Amino acid sequence: MLDGRWRSGFDQGLKPVGARLAKAGVTADALTVVGLGCSVVTGLLIASGHLHWAVLGVILTGVPDLLDGSVARHSGKAGPRGAFFDSVCDRVSDVVLIGGVAWYFGRHGGHLPVLALAVAGLSMLISYERAKAEALGFQAKGGLLERAERLVLLGIGLAFNVLVPIMWLMVVLGSVTAVQRFVKVWRQASAPAGHDPVPRTFGVSRRARRTDTDPVDGRPRSLSEWWETARPAAIAERRELRRSRRRTRP
């Protein structure tokens, strides 16, 4: 959600920083490794109970993730290899951070480590849904709990020592996000042959949805034009047209 709403603004603001880092010889892969190293240290801080120091570690973990894309573009080395490396390191980072929370919970006994493991499992499921969808040619970005939201919520839980409520909140939001992405891909995969449905983009502002582009000439559509295609009657007409085409197929 945060990625869809504010990531482009962050990227624009960080362009000068990315340009300077690229000019200084800093690579995107190096930033990714730094971020992974910060997450390992942060996981150890959480596991040992140094929660307030871990807040700083979460911030330092997230900063390289904001900069590596800009550095890659300015250095002219943006490509699938770097994207793959960044994605794998992000998954390792997530496991290390939540693993630190599980270890911290385990020090106090009870079943709370299972709660942290549920958060880790949902984060892996959410990431897998996107990766598998994109491998099949679909889109699955968006949702209530992407990586940015997980880091923000984890930082809040550490800062105010409310990790248990935050973990429960992440379980709920993670479950909703997994369902959102599943439905999004299911709708795309269920479209009739020859039709390219416009996938629902979770976390996009209402203004962005209303200023959709015309599928013919690409110009921005007004609200009235958008309603002509989105109103229930128009949707019913399109469904009936698809049914009639299927009936007439040999």
Q: What is the set of active-site residues?
A: 90
φ, ψ for residue 51, nearest 5 deg: -70, -40
Helix, strand counts (H, E) of the chain? 11, 0
SS (H, E, C) 51-115: HHHHHHHHHHHHHHHHHHHHHHHHHCCCCHHHHHHHHHHHHHHHHHHHHHHHHHHHCCCCCHHHH
Which residues, including other chains, have CB under 8 Å from residue 235's CB and lie 6 or more apart?
A: none
Residue recorded with tokens 């949805």: 209
Please classify residue 76 by burial: count the beta carbons closer than 10 Å to its beta carbon, then call 0-12 exposed, 13-18 middle and 19+ buried: exposed
